[in-house]
Chain A
Amino acid sequence: FRVEFTKVAADPSIVNLGQGLPDISPPSYVKEELANVAAVDRLNQYTRGFGHPSLVKALSQVYERVCGRKIDPLTDILVTVGGYGSLFSTIQALIEEGDEVIIIEPFYDCYEPMVKMAGAKPVFIPLRNKNDGNCASSADWVLDPGELAKKFNSKTKAIILNTPHNPIGKVFTREELQVIADLCIKHDTLCISDEVYEWLVYKGKKHIKIATLPGMWERTITIGSAGKTYSVTGWKLGWSIGPQNLIKHLQVVHQNTLYTCPTPLQEALARAFWIDYKRMDDPDCYFYSLSRELESKRDRMAQLLREVGLKPVIPDGGYFMIADVSTLNVDLSDVDGNQPYDYKFVKWMIKSKKLSAIPLSAFCGPETKGQFEKYIRFCFIKVNVLETINMGSMVKKGSCQKTTWWLVFF
């Protein structure tokens, strides 16, 4: 779906709240470090394949602190082309024909095709909304432990966990992670933990790494992303962290797929990490300040969505928010196709309201589309849109269209 909606959203007359693309600026020191690096000649040539030495060193320091355990920069870390590249390397390294992989719905859409491409069978389990009231929170969406247990069998090679979760924004609690961990240990299953939004956790919530639970380090690959950490999605740098006996296989995939990641970006990222590593006790550390900045945008977006009659699900983490659009009862008979409700709604919204978002059924397996088709996903790491709406301004070019959309519903 993403390629389809991205094309539409490349139209500048449409306000794009669909794709997860920040339009806030990365912190200035991140950009400065890249500019500094550009001036160093030798940094324009190949670096170490599995990760630029200064970067893996910085990552090991940051994550040693977070995880409370020793992490060897050379054997326990692989630098990849984005979190996406880490998912690919992990799945290619450890998953094959005959395997089953548990995927929690709704899921970041690449999990399914990547698992299939590795020849394995995706086994879906949905998060279920236990509270349909007006104050919906991402915490209301939970796995049924009995249902989850039934999905595990002797063929289950891995479960893919995504916390903070895209698209719902759920931050799995320690208890919830323990349920998953217990099953992984019982069935000797791996855990692929996509934690790219690890720093985007809002007040009152804490991101917990499943790899830190007893018995989990040796069976977990934890994935992180520079794009999400520093608002530089266009740098496409990510990493996989885990025990040597698993990471070594990811390294084999890496050496047979793209061999090295770009040097200047890795060096600049390493320098940015050192700056923030040194202030991890300070609230101004970017790892904490970004989530504070985004929390107000989250709240503003929720307010706006309510004002137009949608029912947002307030996320505890990440920079996406889903909203129930069925309450609007829009007439979609004009929109073509035998498609789920949310696809039709988004198409209608793009065409008539010049606003784009992503239909939630894009993030589900075939069986559950009915469950999720009344929701669409908005991205709120957008400074321009929200500030324009904030000011209620009709002065800027294009703002008229945005304000008009909101006025339609008043």
Chain B
Amino acid sequence: MSRPVQARRLEGVDKNIWVEFVKLAATYSTVNLGQGFPDFPPPDFLKEAFTRALSGEKHMLHQYTRAFGHPPLVKILAQLFGKLLGRELDPMTNVMVTVGAYQALFCCFQAFVDEGDEVIIIEPFFDCYEPMVKMAGGTPVFIPLRPQSVEAANADWQLDPAELASKFSERTKAIVLNSPNNPLGKVFSREELELIADLCVKHDALCISDEVYEWLVYDGKEHVRIASLRGMWDRTVSIGSAGKTFSVTGWKVGWTVGPNRLLQHLRTMHQNSVYHCATAAQEVVAQGFQREFERYGKPDSYFVQLPKEMQQKRDQLVQSLVAVGMKPIIPEGTYFLVADISEFKSDVPDVPNSDEPYDSRFAKWMVKNKGLAAIPLSAFYCGPHKNNYNSFIRFCFAKEEATLKAADDILQKWKLEKTTP
């Protein structure tokens, strides 16, 4: 064939940081704080539910269920999110289950974005937003979160309101919001969300709200759901993830919640791409949610216990990093934190005119030589901006005690090597 065999929509979306870094971690790492998944088990109640479901004679668990979501799951999601959003939700039309939040994002971009549309993406961003917008034929428009001071030690980086307003145009189809934010760990405040909401309403733009870390919020901060703000329900799709909610990233169960006028298009996209999601995991996640709904706000709720445990792990990792001279940015949410590794730059000399951002080279060197895997922050910036914050790396702290201790050992040893002549 004289022209390429592949479709043009694949142009510019073939590179993927995870394919490379996951392989590196698998090959070299002894301590993997890179890819975002827990290395501790899922909660007992969920494992028990899974075992129970499989040992029963319900063989329909192994056959197709309802394409847009297993009935028990969409029912409980409608109940829970109805309560959280303060409105009555119809499980059949206001909720759709997807293969992880990832596929929910894909359905949103495919359903709503066309050639000529612009989509605003806030940097740093979960890296799939950009290629997904491009694959749908849209144009990503970037706006950065900026640290409020040079020495800012917390994740309260902010958008400049005037700058944000300038990014909206009549071509703006949607803005992608991710709160709590991966990789930074920022939790957008109500005021910040109102700012975004006002602009969406003013420009009649949609909001694709990635809230997969909605339960992982620390220091008493509140996760505010943008769909609950005035004027927003009708133009927002909220995305959630069982993987992050219940520490089962490998189950790949996600969902979208929104008005029927938007979900109907997600259903069209879904029925023409995967059609059904696997049944068994949906059944068990439904049971998990049922349990949590009954315990909502109570001390033994997993949604209360998990963030408590994560906060401790966060503090433990922060301590480790500070002790060795890496400067962590304290996250308000998610199970990621970003640290400034400037003190360690001498280990990895700069290569001027290199195509590869410094932090990426640093992270690769670190996993190969120290066995510690982390992800360069530049992975979360668009091409032209990859060098804006290139001395930061992202660590995942959803790890067992032993793993965090092992990371600490590596860091301590490393520091010692640097100070010992």
Contacts and interface: CB of A to CB of B under 8 A. Distances in A.
A361 interface: no
A258 B249 CA distance: 13
Contact of B35 (A46, A235, A236, A264): A46
A45 B249 contact: yes
A377 to B, nearest CB: 17
B100 A246 contact: no
A6 B275 CA distance: 13
B202 interface: no
Nearest to A249: B6
Interface in B78-133: 99-100, 102-103, 106, 128, 131-132
Interface stretch (A20-28, A324-332, A394-402): A20-28
B152 interface: no
Interface in B51-66: 51, 54-55, 59-66
Nearest to A48: B22
A343 to B, nearest CB: 19
Interface in A231-245: 231-237, 245
A118 B102 CA distance: 20
Contacts of B6: 93-94, 249, 252
Interface stretch (B278-286, B326-334, B350-358): B278-286
Interface string A83-119: 0110010001111100000000000001001100110
B274 interface: yes
A88 B67 contact: no
Interface in B161-211: none
6 contacts: A46-B35, A47-B250, A85-B273, A233-B276, A234-B60, A249-B7
Interface stretch (A30-38, A161-169, A363-371): A30-38
A26 B58 CA distance: 11
B7 A96 contact: yes
Nearest to A26: B62
Contacts of B9: 92, 96
Nearest to B37: A45
A39 interface: yes
B1 interface: yes
Contact of A236 (B14, B38, B102, B276): B276
Nearest to A24: B59
Given A45-B248, A82-B274, A235 B8 contact: no
B99 A234 contact: no
Nearest to B276: A236
A237 B252 CA distance: 12
Nearest to B106: A257
A236 B399 CA distance: 30
Interface in B26-84: 35, 37-42, 47, 50-51, 54-55, 59-67
A231 B59 CA distance: 10
B19 interface: yes
Contacts of B279: 234-235
A25 B41 CA distance: 30
Given A45-B37, A47-B250, A234-B65, A81 B7 contact: no
A261 B252 contact: yes
Q: Which of B16, B61, B252 has the most CB of A within 10 A?
A: B252
A84 B42 contact: no
Interface string A188-220: 101000000000000000000000000000000
Contact of A93 (B10, B50, B102): B10
A3 B274 CA distance: 14
A285 B40 CA distance: 38
A262 B274 contact: no
Interface in A38-72: 38-39, 41-49
The 6 A-B residue pairs with the shortest CB-CB distance in the complex, in nearest-first order: A263-B250, A234-B279, A96-B7, A41-B41, A249-B6, A258-B103
A262 B62 contact: no
Interface string B126-147: 0010011001000000000000
Interface residues of B, number: 60
A131 interface: no
A31 B53 CA distance: 11
B150 interface: no
Contact of A26 (B14, B59, B100): B59
B250 A44 contact: yes
B5 A246 contact: yes
A148 interface: no
A256 B131 CA distance: 7
Contacts of B14: 252
Given A93-B6, A96-B9, A258-B103, A44 B276 contact: no
A23 B64 CA distance: 11
B414 interface: no
B348 interface: no
B416 interface: no
A89 to B, nearest CB: 9
Contact of B278 (A26, A114, A234): A234
A255 interface: yes
A265 interface: yes
Given A190-B5, A256-B106, A258-B106, A81 B272 contact: no
Contacts of A264: 250-251, 281
B277 interface: yes
A38 B39 CA distance: 15
A23 B19 CA distance: 39
A405 interface: no
B135 A256 contact: yes
Contacts of B273: 84-85, 88, 257
B51 A258 contact: no
Contacts of B37: 45-46
A259 interface: yes
Contact of B62 (A47, A235, A257, A259): A235
B254 to A, nearest CB: 9
Given A258-B100, A264-B281, 20 more contacts: A21-B64, A35-B55, A39-B47, A43-B250, A44-B250, A45-B39, A45-B248, A45-B250, A46-B250, A93-B10, A231-B62, A234-B60, A234-B63, A234-B65, A235-B279, A249-B7, A257-B103, A258-B252, A262-B278, A264-B251
A110 B272 contact: yes
A263 B100 CA distance: 12
Contacts of B278: 81, 234-237, 262, 265
Nearest to B53: A38
B324 to A, nearest CB: 28
Nearest to B248: A44
B5 A94 contact: yes
Interface in B267-299: 271-281
A113 B66 CA distance: 20
Contact of A35 (B13, B54, B100, B251): B54
A5 B89 CA distance: 25
Contact of B251 (A22, A110, A235, A262): A262
B405 to A, nearest CB: 19
Interface in A128-175: none
A258 B274 contact: yes
